[in-house]
Structure 1
Amino acid sequence: MAVLAALLLALAGALVAPASAATAGPVRNGVSQPVYSYTKAVRETVWVDTGLDGDGDGRVDRVAADIIRPSEPAAAGLKIPVIMDASPYYSCCGRGNESQLKTYDSKGHPVQFPLYYDNYFVPRGYAVVLVDLTGTNRSDGCVDVGGPSDVTSAKAVVDWLNGRAVGHSARTGGTAVTPTWANGSVGMIGKSWDGTVANGVAATGVAGLKTIVPISAISSWYDYYRSQGAPLYSGTPADLAGDVESSGATSRCRAEQSTLAAGAPYSGDWTSLWQQRDYVASVAKVKASVFVVHGMQDLNVRTVNFGQWWDALASTGVDRKIWLSQTGHVDPFDYRRSAWVDTLHSWFDHYLMGVDNGIQNGPVADVERAPDQWSQDAGWPAPGTVQSAVHLNPGTLGGTSNSGSVSFTDDPSRDENAWAADADRSTPDKTVFSSAPLAGDLRLSGSGSVTLTVTPSTASAHLSAVLVDLGPATIRNYAGSGEGIRTLTTRSCWGTSGTGDSACYLDTAADTTQVGATVFSRGWIDLGHYASLNHGVALTPGTAYTMTVDLAATDHVVPAGHRLALTVAGTDNGLIDPPASRPTLTVDLSRSALRLPLVGGAGSLHVPAKPALDGPGLTSLTARELPLGAAAFR
């Protein structure tokens, strides 16, 4: 063993720059190398004190952290960084396209670590730590759906890895465990709830968290369940907690379940529960670099979540990178596998091992333009983007001012796809504003908004606003079962396999569909929250109300020859719940405004000099330009 340790130390010294030799894994040509044995890796579980007693049993809650790490670095006197995925899904639902669960041997030692992170990164000198959030799998406590318990249970493990928390060899106590093998540098990663927790932990400013990679993640839980007062089709936090909590937690966590139910009223009010779960509000504390990944057609974790998080992070000065796909709620491992693994590898090497590989100086944004076709930008929103006010007139985007009025009646049976299909046909449930066919490509990059002055006929009303690209296209089938991907029967391997933990995963391919129109940005409101999100009120029929609908972040090119359209309607079936009544709504366009993030500003929106014969036209389109980000957040 002594000879092996000496050999490994010499090898590491030959491969790693002297400044990082004491802490980094072996590096050659700017890339960490797979020189360590995966099959001989140390597999252990440590239970970490959280300082909480969420289940009220009089004992401090402990969370289970399953660890896999190469055995050789410690023998060679090297400390290593950690890749951590904290999740509620390790026993109930699984992770990845194949829904992998954690598995254990007869003595309770971890065998299968879901996803490829362990297979790929452990041989390269990283530890992988998978944490069961409180109330799930083998952890104590109660699930609180993004609240202090969720965040603290993951933060406690970061603290333990940095010597600030106590770890134990058993759930009931055992002996104290100290991570003498860890160098204190932690990167958190995960999709959906997992990535959401990474956002929440970063927003605590915890020392030692060097980077996060939130994939399809929530930045404010209100915006998962509500949209400016309108209830979304997402169930309730109490339902979600019940779905993931361990069997033992079900009976002891009834008080937490009641708290979740009471704090998330169907009314859509902005309660203290939501405020507690708004990580954007604490963005100033973020010190970690952030690599955001999101599907622009994600109708589970809607894109407002990445957009507001990304925009808020700009004020912190932390390094940022972003990938935006045309998929729904899908991991990049399943739509751009090889490029993703290489990019993530470089990202972790730089921010966790200190490798000077230049990734922080490369393109900031990768955007999928068509299935498997990507472009890159030096920043995001794209350089040259300007918030531009575009005028609204009945039937058209354009003119020299906003004028006229339009009316429609809420029809809860209709949705955004039906509206888009009927864009050129008058129907009573919507109003459409469209340009003539564009003379050149038009790119929208970022978040827009539409301010509407609306008079309802009843005491309650919901509004939907969607941006549509009117024209034929081949897109990812984000509405399909795979949300834009097909799972194949072949497998490819990413790292080293071990007994009970394969590194080989089912391959995927793009699932595409032909469409005549593409909805690419959306927003929904409850008009009863026109004055404040804190408390909705009954509307007075016949009274005009003004409210701004936030159009969620996107990056889309409307090609030359296509038309850009804004649809305004009531209930977007399948995405928001209908109001208590079925109002007719009249929109005063002279007191309304559309603001779009146009690359090149309003001058980039070129239309023919004469209106087209096959659709709504305009002879000119004027707009005044506003500073980027001028639209209100809420």
Structure 2
Amino acid sequence: MKKYFLLIALILLNFSLLAQEKAEPWFKDGEAQIVSAFENQNDWIRTDLWVETTFDTDGDGKPDRMHVDVTRPKQTEDGLKLPVVYESSPYFAGVAPEVEGAFHDVHHELGAEEKEIVHPSVKRLGERPIISNSQIKTWVPRGYIVVHSSSPGTGLSQGSPTVGGDNESLAPKAVIDWLNGRAKGYTTPDGNEEVKAYWTTGKVGMTGTSYNGTIPLAAATTGVEGLEAIIPIAPNTSYYHYYRSNGLVRSPGGYLGEDVDVLYDFINSGDETKRAYGDSIYRDTEIKNGIDRKTGDYNEFWAGRDYLNDMKPMKAALFMSHGFNDWNVMPEHSYRIYKAAEAMGLPVKIYYHQYGHGGPPPFSMMNKWFTKYLFGIENDIDKGPKAWIVRENDKNDNPTPYADYPNPDAENVTLHLKATSKNEGMLTVEKTKKQGTQTLIDDYNFSAEKLAQLSTSKNRLLFVTPILKEDLHLSGLSKMHIKLASSKPATNLSVYMVSLPWNTDKNAKITDNIITRGWADPQNSKSISESEPLKPGKFYELSFNLIPDDQVIPAGQQIGLMIFSSDSEFTILPNPGTELTVDLDKTTVEIPVVGGKKAFDKAVNR
């Protein structure tokens, strides 16, 4: 028997060595392996070209052409055809410098006219034939061709940026069409000498982080044939959800005052002689008229930049990746697309870690995803648990599998407010009647972090659970229901769930303090598409989701619900003094507890 197994092992080894000698892809444990003949960078063939699109966004009357580079093993010149890993970006050719006044000034009353921002100019890099070196050392030795492209109006690509407009979906579609012989590629941006993609199978996988992770989804929503699988990492899936929240003007974390027009200037690295046209048509007209910083309402402009609205044609297998503590591109972006793709019956998987912006899935999982859908190797990556979540004390390469996200064992537990003093109270499953109201005073000078640590404050309301006797696992969306009145016609509303006592240690883990957050505009109590000035003193009811999370709150902590107004890190910052009055009997928060009410009761009462 031992001789039999030894013989099998030798046969398998010979097959592996033979595959490498032939310079063909080979696979082990469902993953593409490094082929020694593909490793020598000096042998790689690196070329660039321009792919013709179906749109004209620089006003010259000709279809825009996208700048594309290709890196492939030399063996593809001898008839070997390989699939493609493709990354596209608006950042490859450089971005705008930091200039004072380039961001919107957020220090003003809500709804007030804002002064014009400064528009910095990008110094274009536009190198060729190498647009980027990303992905190459990882995938080319494993038997893939790597392709990059600069998105419209960036680098040596023609056209204009639109920050989520249709051309940013159609541009990568054109590149994939070219890889499949359906679009034309040329050796120069304006010439007629064609370039053919004779060296590929036509099967394409896309990946990238942030904006580079948005573009794979944008391409997939076109339903383009040949795009088999995507791995978006921390993608922006809706510019409204990036720059607004439930009717409120809200900046992405770390970029207070940024908006679509600011991002347009940041990436506008294309042909200097064509920029004036794009500035006039897109930045100074379409974007300026559409973003509506006065009300923050959802409108046609935002609907056209929300990929959830465009998913019907999508066929690509989706592997999402995101961090639960990404307060730049918040995890709601991946969650909403993942759930929609799942409902459509597409192959889906999601990986969440506990850190901030970026962070790909473990490489083995990415390898298997592309191996399955680009090479057709059966490896079971599409089967079994759909969700892989890194627990609080684990490393990112060691996620825990779950059947799905949210955890199928999670059930909403409704917590009511119970006042114990002027601006503090308890969160309880029992409802207390006839409590009246509590009032807070808006003052952005007190950060959320500071407010959460104060034992008492007139600038926030804070309600806490009993001290947890054992760990409590939350998974999914918490939902806020609030009834409030404002002393002014407009006000910010910010809601945080925090873990207390606050860990002030400089080495505190990112999961120690913030559980989740949410923001809303009380003027949009009826709809995010319709604002109505508040009547001072009149009560309004609104409901909204907080940002998705999956977190184990350890025993010894308390879950705190903090309600305040202006958020110094995220919102417009009006003069302090607006009063928000909350009806305690009509305000609740639903939290998704793994094990439901039984688990919650056990954690707080054991």
* Same-fold status (TM-score > 0.5): yes
CA distances 1:92-127 after superposition (whole Å, capped 9, x unpaired): 159xxxxxx99888xx422x7333x11121121111
Greater alpha carbon shift after TM alignment, 302-311 vs 190-199: 302-311
Matches for 1:503-518 after TM superposition, within 5 Å:
512-513=507-508, 518=513
Relative to 1, partners in 2 of residues 1:417 and 1:43: Cα closer, same or farther, differing over 3 Å?
same
Relative to 1, partners in 2 of residues 1:282 and 1:402: Cα closer, same or farther, differing over 3 Å?
farther
- Report the equivalent of 2:369: 347
- Select the residue among 118, 128, 132 that pairs with 1:113: 132
Tell me the distance in 1 between the aligned counterparts of 2:63 and 2:600.
Answer: 60
- 3-state SS, counterpart of residue 164 of structure 1: coil
Are 1:592 and 2:587 matched, yes or no? Answer: yes
Are 1:239 and 2:262 matched, yes or no? Answer: yes
Matches for 1:144-543 after TM superposition, within 5 Å:
144-234=162-252, 235-246=258-269, 248=272, 249-254=274-279, 255-258=281-284, 259-266=286-293, 267-332=295-360, 340-373=362-395, 374-394=399-419, 395-401=425-431, 403=433, 404=435, 405-422=437-454, 425-471=455-501, 512-513=507-508, 518-543=513-538
CA distances 1:10-55 after superposition (whole Å, capped 9, x unpaired): 9899659xxxx9x983324433232224321211112111111101
Are 1:87 and 2:77 matched, yes or no? Answer: no
Shift of 1:542: 1.2
Tell me the distance in 1 between the aligned counterparts of 2:531 and 2:187.
Answer: 50
Q: Which amino acid aligns with 1:270?
A: Y
Q: CA RMSD in A?
A: 2.8
Conserved in 2, the CA contact under 8 Å of 1:473 and 1:516?
A: no
Shift of 1:361: 2.4
Q: Which amino acid aligns with 2:220?
A: A
Shift of 1:455: 1.1
- 3-state SS, counterpart of residue 570 of structure 2: coil
Q: Which amino acid aligns with 2:527?
A: S
Shift of 1:241: 1.1
Shift of 1:553: 0.7
Shift of 1:133: 0.2
Tell me the distance in 1 between the aligned counterparts of 2:465 and 2:587.
Answer: 17
Conserved in 1, the CA contact under 8 Å of 2:415 and 2:430?
A: no
Relative to 1, partners in 2 of residues 1:275 and 1:80: Cα closer, same or farther, differing over 3 Å?
same
Relative to 1, partners in 2 of residues 1:147 and 1:11: Cα closer, same or farther, differing over 3 Å?
farther
Relative to 1, partners in 2 of residues 1:473 and 1:145: Cα closer, same or farther, differing over 3 Å?
same
Shift of 1:391: 2.3
Shift of 1:515: 8.3
- 3-state SS, counterpart of residue 298 of structure 2: coil
Shift of 1:303: 2.0
- Report the equivalent of 2:553: 558
Relative to 1, partners in 2 of residues 1:608 and 1:31: Cα closer, same or farther, differing over 3 Å?
closer
- Select the residue among 50, 55, 77 that pairs with 1:52: 55
- 3-state SS, counterpart of residue 174 of structure 2: helix
Greater alpha carbon shift after TM alignment, 517-526 vs 134-143: 517-526
Q: Which amino acid aligns with 2:181?
A: G
- 3-state SS, counterpart of residue 297 of structure 1: coil
- Report the equivalent of 1:65: 68
- Report the equivalent of 1:484: none
Tell me the distance in 1 between the aligned counterparts of 2:384 and 2:41.
Answer: 31
Q: Which amino acid aligns with 1:208?
A: G
TM-score by length of 1: 0.80
- 3-state SS, counterpart of residue 586 of structure 1: strand
Greater alpha carbon shift after TM alignment, 589-598 vs 536-545: 589-598
Conserved in 2, the CA contact under 8 Å of 1:438 and 1:606?
A: no
Shift of 1:516: 10
Tell me the distance in 2 between the aligned counterparts of 1:149 and 1:418.
Answer: 44
- 3-state SS, counterpart of residue 204 of structure 1: coil
Conserved in 1, the CA contact under 8 Å of 2:499 and 2:512?
A: yes
- 3-state SS, counterpart of residue 535 of structure 1: coil
Q: Which amino acid aligns with 1:533?
A: I
Q: Which amino acid aligns with 1:291?
A: F
Tell me the distance in 2 between the aligned counterparts of 1:598 and 1:515.
Answer: 21
Tell me the distance in 1 between the aligned counterparts of 2:216 and 2:563.
Answer: 35
Gap regions ≥5 residues in structure 2: 1-13, 97-122, 253-257, 420-424
TM-score by length of 2: 0.84
Tell me the distance in 2 between the aligned counterparts of 1:68 and 1:562.
Answer: 52
Conserved in 2, the CA contact under 8 Å of 1:474 and 1:515?
A: no
Q: Which amino acid aligns with 2:290?
A: G
Tell me the distance in 2 between the aligned counterparts of 1:183 and 1:515.
Answer: 44
- 3-state SS, counterpart of residue 170 of structure 1: coil
Tell me the distance in 2 between the aligned counterparts of 1:278 and 1:253.
Answer: 21
Relative to 1, partners in 2 of residues 1:55 and 1:520: Cα closer, same or farther, differing over 3 Å?
same
Q: Structure 1 vs Structure 2: percent identity of aligned residues?
A: 30
- Report the equivalent of 1:25: 25
Relative to 1, partners in 2 of residues 1:609 and 1:163: Cα closer, same or farther, differing over 3 Å?
closer
Shift of 1:130: 0.8
Gap regions ≥5 residues in structure 1: 1-9, 95-100, 333-338, 478-511, 611-619, 621-634
